[in-house]
Copies of this chain bind each other. A is one copy, B any other.
Amino acid sequence: MAPAPTFLRITTMIVRERPNAIALLLALRGSVVPEILPHIAFVALFSVAVAALSHYQLIGLQSLTIMPVTLLGIVLSILLGFRNNASYDRWWEARKQWGQMVNEIRSLARVSGALLGEDAPARRAILMRALAYAHALKGQLREENVGEDLLAWVSREDCDLALATANPADAFIAQAGSLLGEQYRQGSLDSMGLRMLDERLAALSKVQAASERIATTPLPFAYTLLVHRTAYVYCYLLPFVLTGSMGWVSPILTAVVAYTFFGIDRLSEHLETPFGRAPNDLPLDALCRIHEISVADALGDVAPAPLPVKNFQLQ
C-alpha cells in the first residue's frame, strides 16, 4: 500500500502546540517580556516612589483625574495601531515573497524539464544557480557569510565570480540568464521558451528587490520617536493619575499597563525587520531547505530532510 503523503511542514518561528491557559500566561520564549522587563521594572519603581511621596503627603495627588492620560490615549492608540499593522504587513509581505520563491523554483524546475529535457545539463546548471541565489540572498539579508555554503551548488569559480560583484544573489540570477542565452543561441530554446524560463528568473529577481526593500527601508524614524515618546509620557504620567484613587495598588497597575504598551511597541519593532534570527523572525534556513527539496525531487536526486526544530524554533 502507498505510504501516507507526508506534509512538507515549514512551521515558522516558535513551534509548539497551543499551550493551556496557565502555561500561556507564564511562557517566556517567543515573548518580548525579557527585553522590556527593565523598562517595566523602572516604571513600577517610579510608581512606588510616587505612591510613597503621596502616602507621606509630600505631594498631593487627590485632585488629579484620569483626564490627561485619556487625552494622550487618542493619539497613542492611532500610533500603536498603525505601527503594529505596518510592521506586521512588512513581516507578512516578506513571508509572501519567500513563499513565492518556493513556487517559482518549482515552476522553473518543471518548465525547464519540459523545454530542455529532464536530464539536460543546462537544466541542472540553472536550478543550481537558483539554489545558490536563494542561499546568497539569505546571507545578504542576514548579513551572514554564506560563501562556503554556496559551493554545494556552484563551482568555486562561478561562486567567486558572483562574490566579486556587488550583489552576489543577483549575479547568480544573471549567470542563469546567461545559460538561457546560450541555449537560445544554440537553438535548444526558441524565443518563447526563453521567455517562459526567463519569467521565472524575473520573478526571483522581484522577490529579491522586494526583500531588499523591506530589509533596508525601515518605517520613517519619526514614527518610532513619536510612538516611543508618547508611550513613555503616558506610562510616567500614570502613577500621578492612579495613586490618588488606588494608593499602593497603583504600581501594579502601572506595570501591567506598561507591559502592554512596551510589549506591542517592541513586537512591532521586531516584525519591522523580519529577516534576522530573533524568535519571531522568518525561518529562512528552513525555506532554503524547502527549495533544496523541490530541486532534488525534480532532478531525481535524494532530497534532504526538512530542517528539524531546535529549542521550539526554526531558523
Tell me the smallest distance from the CB of A65 to a CB of chain B, in Å. 6
Which B residues are in CB contact (< 8 Å) with A308?
none
Q: Given known contacts A107-B205, A228-B24, is B81 in contact with A221 (CB within 8 Å)?
A: no
The distance in angstroms between the C-alpha atoms of A165 and B304, with both chains bound, is: 11
- Whether A113 contacts B181 by the Cβ 8 Å rule is yes
CB distance from A20 to the nearest CB of B (A): 10
* Copies of this protein in the complex: 5
How far, in whole Å, are A162 and B297 apart by their CA atoms in the complex? 10
Q: Would you call A85 and B84 a contact (CB within 8 A)? A: no
Q: Residue A88 at the B interface, CB < 8 A?
A: yes
List residues of chain B with CB within 8 A of the CB of A173.
106, 110
A216 CB, nearest partner CB in chain B, Å:
4
Contact (Cβ within 8 A) B147 A114: no
Contact A18 B205 (CB under 8 A): no
On whether the beta carbons of B12 and A216 are closer than 8 Å, the reply is yes
Q: Is the CB of A225 within 8 A of B191?
A: no
Contact B111 A177 (CB under 8 A): yes
Contact of A242 among B66, B67, B166, B267 (CB under 8 A): B67
- Is A315 engaged at the interface, CB distance under 8 Å to the other chain? no
How far does the Cβ of A76 sit from chain B's closest Cβ, in whole Å?
7
Contact of A147 among B3, B12, B185, B216 (CB under 8 A): B3
Whole-angstrom CA separation of A221 from B33 in the bound complex = 13
Looking at the assembled complex, report how far the CB atom of A146 sits from the nearest CB atom of chain B, in whole angstroms: 7
A158 shortest CB reach to chain B, Å: 11
1/0 contact string of A246-260 vs chain B (CB within 8 Å): 100000010011011
Beta-carbon contact of B75 and A216 below 8 Å: no
CB of A174 within 8 A of CB of B221, answer no
Instruction: Report if A206-B174 is in contact (Cβ < 8 Å); known contacts: A82-B81, A115-B184, A141-B7.
Output: no
Pair B78/A180 contact, Cβ less than 8 Å:
no
- Give the docked Cα–Cα distance between A198 and B113 (Å): 12
Given contacts A139-B5, A163-B5, A212-B99, contact A297 B171 (CB under 8 A): yes
Query: Residue A261 at the B interface, CB < 8 A?
Result: yes
A232 partner, pick from B21, B67, B77, B241, beta carbons under 8 A = B21
Q: Within the assembled complex, what's the spacing in Å between the Cα atoms of A260 and B260?
A: 20
> Are B267 and A223 closer than 8 Å at their CB atoms?
yes
A269 touches B150 (CB 8 A): no
10 A-B Cβ contacts within 8 A?
A: A4-B139, A5-B136, A21-B39, A25-B228, A72-B256, A88-B220, A103-B205, A106-B173, A111-B198, A226-B264
